[in-house]
Chain A
Amino acid sequence: MAKKDTAAKETIALDTLYLVGDTDQSIALEVITGGINQTSTINVEIIGSQIIAKGIQGNLPQTTIGSNKELQGKILSVTCSIADTSRDTNYTELRIRLNGGILFMEYPLFATVAEEGDSVNYVCVVRFFKP
């Protein structure tokens, strides 16, 4: 899916859709950050409705964020800052996984920083849309 690698960019953005149905089935969100030995902090919220995670370090484990019905028309915001604290790689990544809607979706984003100690911001907007 949407995959970006923009060397030396300080912000990586994704605005996408997640297709939901008209059911009570739960939707689960998981956020994975990397690479190995990098340092990350994540905020996750459903805009105007609920804060799911604030200042989480590392990964956000699989978390139920609501049912298909409840999430229709809502907007999920995932913001993350990753610092290059690894001496082996300058590679950083963020993966958002959504499960329980019409399709399982994984949104991988990544960037390689130019110098040791540089940071990258990831900004993601996911709109829950019923087709």
Chain B
Amino acid sequence: MKITTLLTVALCSVTVTALAQNEEGIKLDVLRAPVSPASNLLGIATTDIDKPTDVSAFMLSLQSASSSFAKLPSNYAVDISPYYLFTKKRGDFTTNGLQSTKYEDIFKQTFIISAAIRNPDEAETNLNVNNTYAGLGLKFSILRGEYDDTTKTKLDKIIGLQKKMTDDLAKTVREWITRNDPEYAALVVQRQQLFTNRTGLTPQQVINSDQYKSLERQISEKLQNFTDQQTAQVRQEIFAEIKQTAATFQTSRVGLSWDINGGVSGEFIDKRFNRSRVYNAGVWTNFGYTTKDGIALLALARYLHNPNQIFALDNQPNKIGNINTLDGGLRLAYSRPQSKFSASAEGIYRSVLSSNTIDPSWRMVFNADYAIFQNQKLTFSFGRNFDGTVSKDGNLIAALTFLAGFGNNR
């Protein structure tokens, strides 16, 4: 019993230690394209990016960031989907529409423009506090796989429950109309009379009048109250059942995928717009194929002009100046939803195109993990580092070392 307790404590402690090591040491997926290219180029955190869902929300956020349009925003980052925001929402952006594998739909649904402006403060080390920085980026997909079986099964379940719900709602509306509640009927007549008794007003003016809006609100409330009462039990049951699936729903895809991201940022010297230069720029592309069995092969390439940190110099701050770097990688991963085991192998090549002082190098890493408890994983990684040394890491190694030590006779 004591040994089991001791072993559990030891495993937990090495897990925490190994996770901490992992963040600084062997890091996978480093070439993945950023969520928001412009913000990434200016080092703005993902959580600080505004993602408006409609035009009025966009205008409101812009108004707030620009002190009611009185000045340019000082620190602001936004990602907008132009097809969603500005084309009167004609596309289908629900999980149904996002199933489409047609090129036109994929482009419209994934095309994002990201913009950011930054006036750094004293705490910034990479940016000059006297200057203003602005970035513009875009991202889109050319190919996108279809939903995997798990995603389709979950969606079918939700939709099946929604069909029950909407059938019940439609029945309730029919009942409400047939019932012809006297108060409701009187309000409906009163609303119609606003049009028949209008004097010199156009129909649009009547619709815009406070009286019409007030009546419509009262009439709608009556419909809402009736629907709420009539569907309460069914709604609670169905909503609870939907929530079991929907709360953790994630879309996973199988098949070919190809994403392109790019961005450029400018530096405005002394915050003057007639004195500017390109600060940095980048293009990322991911191309891959994911099988139904959860195996994914992904190729990644990244070209950066004047990056903040040079990957080929172990991510050291860029003190060289305007250099161009090219990083490429290939990743083979195995991961299935609900599976305790996942593994990946990644090869990365990195080089600096415009400097002869930094040699290109490569790294190859294999990484595997197995979930033993919730939030507790055995991890193992092994590979060749950029400097040619072979490394092994992960809490599995630490645990095995610990066990070997524990079993020794002293």
Contacts and interface: CB of A to CB of B under 8 A. Distances in A.
Interface of A: 1-2, 10-17, 19, 32-43, 45, 47-48, 54-55, 57-59, 75, 77, 79-81, 83-85, 87-89, 91, 93, 95, 102-103, 115-119, 121, 123, 125, 127, 129, 131
Contact of A19 (B90, B176, B177, B203): B203
B207 A1 contact: yes
B173 interface: yes
Interface in B211-266: 213, 216, 219-224, 227-228, 231, 235, 238-239, 242-251
B155 to A, nearest CB: 6
Secondary structure of the B contact surface, majority rule: helix
Contact of A14 (B89, B198, B220): B220
Contacts of B198: 131
Given A13-B224, A121-B165, A121-B235, A43 B170 contact: yes
A28 B207 CA distance: 20
Given A81-B162, A85-B95, A118 B243 contact: yes
Nearest to B100: A58
Contact of B81 (A36, A77, A95, A119): A36
Contact of A58 (B94, B169, B213): B94
A117 B195 CA distance: 42
Interface in B251-302: 251
Given A13-B224, A47-B174, A88-B51, A81 B93 contact: no
Contacts of B174: 47-48, 77
B166 to A, nearest CB: 4
Contacts of B98: 37
B170 A131 contact: no
Interface range on chain B: under 10, 10 to 19, 20 to 34, or 35 or more?
35 or more
Interface of B: 51, 53-54, 81, 84, 89-90, 92-98, 155, 158-159, 162-163, 165-167, 169-170, 172-174, 176-177, 188, 191-192, 195-196, 198, 203-204, 207, 213, 216, 219-224, 227-228, 231, 235, 238-239, 242-251
Contacts of A118: 239, 243, 246
Contact of B158 (A12, A39, A59, A129): A39
Contact of B239 (A38, A119, A129): A119
Contact of A38 (B95, B166, B167): B95
Contact of B94 (A17, A40, A116): A40
A125 B170 CA distance: 10
Contacts of A55: 159, 163, 166
